[in-house]
Amino acid sequence: MKTTPVSDPTALKIFMDYFYHWEKTQPEKIFLRQPFGHRFNDFTWKETGNQVRRLASYLLSLNLAPKSPIGLVSKNCAEWIIADLAIMMAGQVSVPFYPTLTGPQLHQVLSHSGCVVLFVGKLDDWPGMKTGVPADVSCISFPNYNPDPEHIQWKDILASRQPLKESPLPELNDLFSIIYTSGTTGNPKGVMLTYQAVASAMAATKDILRFDLPETRFFSYLPLCHIAERNIVEATCIGTGGTIYFAESLDTFAQNLAQARPTHFLAVPRIWTKFQLGILAKMPQRKLDLLLKIPFISGMVRKKIREGLGLNEAELILTGAAPMPASLIVWFRRLGIKIQEAYGMTENLGAVCMTPRNKPKDGTVGKIYPGVEVKILPDTGEILTRSDWTMKGYYKEPKMTAETIDEEGWIHTGDVGELDSEGYLKITGRVKEMYKTSKGEYVAPAQIEFGFADNKLIDQICVVGQRLPQPIALVVLSEMARRVEREAVAQSLEATLTDLNPKLKSYERVRKIVVMRDAWTVDNNMLTPTLKTRRNVIEKNYDQMIEPWYEGKGNVIWE
């Protein structure tokens, strides 16, 4: 399917075009708000520009080759955005890394990218990560977050350098960034994106991303090194001249979100599930259903819930990065929270489709964007995409690039799906995640996992079953389940199984539910930094137990 082409390439605006405009036209407006306890450290567009220009001046003084890769590792904070803009202004290539990397993981991506300079910021375990920094990499420490005394200091650069007077612009075909994928399997790959790709995507999605709002506010907490946060928060804020609020920590998340009152808000499905469980902990489902049936009361309840979450002024509410159960979207819609699902991958700038706000089609991930072509391979059902914002390729990996982008410019996404006549896309699984049971039948685990979405006692799930006659489901219980007797939890899980299995093909029916002792987290490597399950890691971790669990007594087994 082919959609309407994007606007004239000669009219495309890049990041720095927008930044220079707002720096000049609204210098005193607050651009970045960094919380520290009960106070904010605010950066106006003018002050941001001042710091960006001094840092860019320093980077230029290093006499690096043009378009050199510059690394950036930090949790989200104001300095992350400032450093990113300084790298662009200096004509270099921004290479952001996940702040949860171990020392060896950081070493791998630093060595592969060839970064000669690394900005180091807000991190939980810099001493552990520091062991992975090659000796020839020069480090610059952000202020305010326990800066490493062995590094070049941000504050010293600001004090010693004069701001760059020029306002340089890169060429459209220049590299904007190398974004390393979170890597559910294998080593991360460095996706090369050009300024032209970013500018084209912004031009094509302006209306959809609500560039028309008179004032925009954003809440930044998902990793900025991920394409979704880079698009929805950094790019859209700079495009609209808005304000970014940052989360200080997990403990202050709710308070920071309520302070931000974002007009644009993105959350991955696990966050939406946690929001739902938090609401139900205060107001059980039966009571909520009753109150929502009373006309006057229902409006007050919806308003109170939206205000409690900090989403009462949100105009664009998104989910992405992982599949979201349609039932969860419908549940929030009843509260007046219209979640729009977006789909894409780093290789196509995360911009393939989005659910229209007022014309959702539940069970799909939305309608194809203008300027995007999508086709489905008839033999495997794999989704292919093509657009003006297709990646240039994988950095230093021509063979991997050729395996992903064919000769006609189609990205082979690895996702399996269906496209309807109205341009709505449905994801049904992953090519590599489908497996063959011992009976010789192919199973798509993601579709089975969706069947457990309505059980609020389940927080995480991974369906496995290679070498087994039937699949089994490994589950991590939710916080709500901890307040319920074990027998009642088992009964609830069995009821879900009884309800689900008749809806599945005979070879897809789940034989057992195994309750895990420990949660899957980023720290234990069971989740990616964007909170997707690392299916291959989970399967490997429990490999020796899967067959004994399958043969065990009862439908519900406790690890």
What's the rounded Cα separation, in Å, for the pair 104 and 528? Answer: 16
Question: For the chain, what percent of residues have pLDDT higher than 70?
Answer: 96
Residue type, 284: P
**Cβ atoms of 496 and 456 closer than 8 Å:** no
Predicted confidence at residue 396, as pLDDT, reads 95
What's the rounded Cα separation, in Å, for the pair 558 and 291? Answer: 37
What's the rounded Cα separation, in Å, for the pair 87 and 168? Answer: 12
What's the rounded Cα separation, in Å, for the pair 248 and 241? Answer: 22
**Cβ atoms of 456 and 276 closer than 8 Å:** yes
Predicted confidence at residue 185, as pLDDT, reads 55
Predicted confidence at residue 546, as pLDDT, reads 87
Phi/psi at 306 (5° precision): -65, -40
Q: What is the DSSP letter of 93?
A: E
Q: Which long-range contacts (CB under 8 A, 24 or more apart) does 551-558 make?
A: 552/512, 554/512, 555/493, 555/494, 555/497, 555/511, 555/512, 555/513, 556/490, 556/493, 556/494, 556/512, 556/513, 556/514, 556/515, 557/512, 557/513, 557/514, 557/515, 558/486, 558/514, 558/515, 558/517
pLDDT tens for residues 343-363?
A: 999 999 999 999 998 899 998
Give all strands (DSSP E) within 190-319, no chain letters: 190-194, 217-220, 243-246, 264-267, 316-319
Is it the case that residue 495 has pLDDT exceeding 70? yes
pLDDT-derived band of residue 436, with 50, 70 and 90 as boundaries?
A: low
What's the rounded Cα separation, in Å, for the pair 344 and 341? Answer: 10
Residue type, 518: D
Look at residue 319 and give its three-state secondary structure.
Answer: strand
Nearby residues of 163 by Cβ (< 8 Å), 6 or more positions away: 49, 50, 53, 54, 57
Q: Domain residue spans in the chain?
A: 435-558
Look at residue 497 and give its three-state secondary structure.
Answer: helix
- Number of neighbours of residue 381 by Cβ within 10 angstroms: 16
Phi/psi at 95 (5° precision): -130, 90
Domain 435-558 has CATH 3.30.300.30: yes
Predicted confidence at residue 242, as pLDDT, reads 97
Question: For the chain, what percent of residues have pLDDT higher than 90?
Answer: 66
**Cβ atoms of 324 and 363 closer than 8 Å:** no
Phi/psi at 217 (5° precision): -135, 145
pLDDT tens for residues 162-207?
A: 999 999 999 999 999 999 986 555 678 999 999 999 999 999 999 9
Predicted confidence at residue 538, as pLDDT, reads 87
pTM recorded for the entire structure:
0.84
Look at residue 42 and give its three-state secondary structure.
Answer: strand
Lateral strand order in the sheet of 382-387:
372-376, 382-387, 411-419, 425-430
- Average pLDDT of the residues in 128-138: 95
23 closest CA partner among 100, 67, 80, 85: 85
Predicted confidence at residue 5, as pLDDT, reads 43
- Average pLDDT of the residues in 376-386: 91
Is it the case that residue 10 has pLDDT exceeding 50? no
- The β-bridge relationship of strands 190-194 and 217-220 is unpaired
Predicted confidence at residue 183, as pLDDT, reads 56
- Average pLDDT of the residues in 380-389: 92
pLDDT-derived band of residue 324, with 50, 70 and 90 as boundaries?
A: confident
**Cβ atoms of 387 and 370 closer than 8 Å:** no
Is it the case that residue 64 has pLDDT exceeding 50? yes
**Exposure of 251 by Cβ count < 10 A (0-12 exposed, 13-18 middle, 19+ buried)?**
exposed
What's the rounded Cα separation, in Å, for the pair 309 and 331? Answer: 15
Q: Which tokens belong to 547? A: 């067959």
**Cβ atoms of 439 and 378 closer than 8 Å:** no
pLDDT tens for residues 78-87?
A: 999 999 999 9
Predicted confidence at residue 16, as pLDDT, reads 92
- Average pLDDT of the residues in 9-30: 87
What's the rounded Cα separation, in Å, for the pair 108 and 133? Answer: 9
